[in-house]
Chain A
């Protein structure tokens, strides 16, 4: 075991995977010599050579398109999109190509690529460095979508993603890169080294894609969250003293519906939390599933707590995404309903 930040855990996952399988290649803007703007790939070029970890031109469509070609050849590209916000030039390659190559060729060609991308706000990135585009991907059949919330999961899930035979979108909440976040931006960041989930095995291990994890047991209300919001939900439960069960989805597609249904059936109440915009966000999908599968167990309407339906603001980011107070209000509301 070693103490790792999420950045180190992500790097370790690539390192372990490159060491085990020489078909794994890592590339993207600035990832080679420099090690990426968040240093997630630092040292990989020195260790594996510049044909297995290299810098790419600033052309997201080119990066993803060439990764698809490499995958068709038999490599396993693990690509970094510098920020999730810059995935859009490659959207066509991701949604119309990568996602469908297996289907349209009846398995003659496959697309085992991983697209890693720093996601979400909380680092004063403004509109163009803070987006949470997961719903754009969960709507696409053929992709898998993962959002880890801690170093331990990040490493195990990323190794699973690299070993997965299908294209995986790996959204890394950059607010969690260096430590967990409980929604209190005025407090100093607690580093991952003080957190049990910062204890990460150095070698190979995997976490299955499609399995959620219950982060806090409770019986009064279920909070469904992922990524940064898992920590905010935990803080809200502590601060309100409400006996909330907090589910960390980890994988949005495929989704662990059983865990959600079991929990809501037990608690009869549900709050869904995410950082992305409300309208047509992934929360809408979660709420539909809960009402479809748990309707007769529900004691209150299901409530969503999300970012606002506006572009991501720079100066007011702490007012933009949900903190423990907003989640706490929602918890109180459903308890009183």
Chain B
């Protein structure tokens, strides 16, 4: 026998648990404007640093600085602010609706609004997202009717999914939003397939896949990287690192070294980390990646560094696993407040207009909710037909399902 000690297993743990002092000293945040902006046709090995740094545009004074700044006009920024505020108001109302028993379940975006709202604006009509459940901003920033989203959440008679899908699992081909799966990571590789198809057909449209930090541990994440790099698919592979996968901190999927973005490096995929709470930075990086895809330069992997301020879902209680004050300690701030401050610094916005807009937006959301509730909520009012259970399994209903439908009395 050797004189070495016996082995022991390393199980990563977050820096603090409930009752402790929040600690983000491990999140190294570079100054806004300090990360260079390479040409889109840069060789991936020349920008390996970008997989470890964080691209930021908005500084602490609310100014847009550095090489990734200057892409958006006042009007576009105001639209972006509005989308984020809409999403936040929507979340607040739907969360309340869940508490009132109008739906079974809800997942909110609090703190992550910039990611999907800014990303959508870097895509074009016809591009396709393969989202997971925390990207409703893709729909809102594409002007998808909010009443339809609520109909889906309420599983009412006007639910576009006829009551078959869990709340928030939207679908809209027209708005470039692939039907959401509850099985994590499956959509990531499907996005690559869609992008490959677009390239096979010499189309100009591109795809985007979405995944959470925890779900990067699924094998489909790795399959997606293999296919994307092998065929140089015109796809943007997004990782939303909001620090938590339900109660499991991000170190469990990642281990203690490297970053999620760095997983792209072994595949030769350009990989960037971006401040996910900075609308301008998210937009700039998404546009960079979209241009790469459109110029047939292949995939880009983007890690959005953000923080899930709310609970994972309405079934979760985050106070059981992290300090209550952790979200306030998050060093990248609140995406809505940061963009608001920037617009005020630019002279394009004011506290008064913001307060007014907040009230108007909430009113708009409440009006939408009233319209949706006319069609019913989960346990009251109009419901999808039982007949809908049997429809749409196949393009044409086979005899055995028809027999079962008749047996059910429809």
Contacts and interface: CB of A to CB of B under 8 A. Distances in A.
A and B: interacting chains: yes
Interface of A: 25, 51-52, 56-57, 59, 61-62, 65-75, 89, 92-93, 96-97, 101-110, 141-142, 144, 164-166, 210, 253-255, 257
Contacts of A107: 392
B78 to A, nearest CB: 31
Given A73-B194, A107-B392, A101 B183 contact: no
Given A73-B194, A106-B164, A97 B183 contact: yes
B183 A96 contact: yes
Nearest to A52: B200
Top 7 closest pairs, chain A to chain B, by CB: A69-B193, A66-B193, A62-B223, A65-B189, A105-B179, A73-B197, A254-B398
B190 interface: yes
B126 to A, nearest CB: 11
A65 B190 contact: yes
B395 interface: yes
A89 B219 contact: yes
Interface in B186-210: 186, 188-201, 207
A142 B164 CA distance: 14
B226 interface: yes
B348 to A, nearest CB: 38
A73 B173 CA distance: 10
- Taking residues whose C-beta sits less than 8 angstroms from the other chain, chain B's interface range is 35 or more
Contacts of A101: 179
Given A96-B183, A106-B392, 16 more contacts: A61-B223, A62-B224, A65-B220, A66-B189, A66-B227, A68-B190, A69-B189, A70-B193, A70-B196, A72-B178, A73-B193, A89-B219, A106-B164, A109-B179, A141-B401, A142-B394
Contact of A65 (B171, B178, B223): B223
Contacts, number: 144
14 contacts: A61-B189, A65-B188, A69-B130, A70-B196, A72-B194, A73-B201, A89-B219, A96-B186, A97-B186, A102-B393, A105-B179, A106-B171, A108-B160, A108-B173
Contact of B161 (A65, A73, A74, A104): A104
Contact of B393 (A25, A68, A93, A141): A141
B226 A69 contact: no
Contacts of A253: 398
Given A65-B220, A104-B165, A97 B181 contact: yes
A140 to B, nearest CB: 10
Contacts of A103: 164, 392-393
B189 A62 contact: yes
